[in-house]
Homo-oligomer: A and B are copies of this chain.
Amino acid sequence: MTFINSKFIKSEYSDIAKVSQGQSVCFYGMVQNVRVTKWGGFVIVRKPEGLIQTVIQKDTSSIIDEEGRSIGINDISREMAITIHGTVNSANIKDKSVKYNTIEIEVSKIQVISRPSTTEVIDVNALKFSDDESVLRYKFDNRQVSLRNPKDMAIFRVSSTIAQSFAEYLISVGFTQIFTPKIVSEGAEGGANVFNMDYFGKQVYLAQSPQFYKQIGVGVYERVFEIAPAYRAEKHNTSRHLNEFISLDVEMGFIKGQEEVMELEMNLLRHIIASVNEKCSHELQLLEAQLPCLPENVPVYRLSEAHELLYNEQLTADHRGEDDMAPEEERAICKYAKEKFGSDFVFITHFPTEHRAFYAMNDPEDPTLTLSYDLLMCGIEITSGGQRIHKEEDYRKKMAERGMNPDNFKFYLDTFHNGMPPHGGFAIGLERITSFFLGISNVKEASLFPRDINRVAP
A: residues with CB less than 8 A from B are 1-7, 9-10, 28-30, 47-48, 78-81, 113-118, 121-122, 142-145, 147-148, 153, 156-157, 159-160, 163-164, 167, 171, 173-174, 176-186, 195-200, 202, 204, 206, 212-213, 216, 219-223, 227-229, 231, 233, 235, 243-244, 246, 253-254, 259-260, 262-264, 266-267, 270, 296-301, 305, 309, 347, 390-393, 410-412, 414-422, 430, 448-449, 451, 453-454, 456-458
- The number of times this chain is found in the oligomer is 2
Are B219's CB and A30's CB within 8 A? yes
Rounded to whole Å, the gap between the CB of A8 and the closest CB of chain B is: 8
Are A144's CB and B178's CB within 8 A? no
A417 contacts across to B, CB distance below 8 A: 116-118, 121
Are A263's CB and B7's CB within 8 A? yes
- Main SS at interface, chain A: mixed
Alpha-carbon gap, A296 to B259, bound state (A): 51
Alpha-carbon gap, A202 to B457, bound state (A): 12
A to B CB contacts below 8 Å, 27 in the list: A1-B300, A2-B300, A3-B300, A4-B266, A5-B298, A6-B266, A28-B421, A30-B219, A48-B222, A81-B419, A113-B254, A113-B422, A117-B416, A143-B216, A144-B412, A144-B414, A153-B220, A156-B178, A157-B176, A160-B178, A160-B179, A181-B456, A182-B244, A184-B456, A186-B457, A195-B199, A229-B229
Are B457's CB and A185's CB within 8 A? yes
Residue in contact with A183 in the complex, picked from B144, B183, B186, B244, CB distance below 8 Å: B244
A122 contacts across to B, CB distance below 8 A: 418
Alpha-carbon gap, A156 to B414, bound state (A): 21
Give the nearest-CB partner of A265 in chain B: B4
Are A451's CB and B181's CB within 8 A? yes
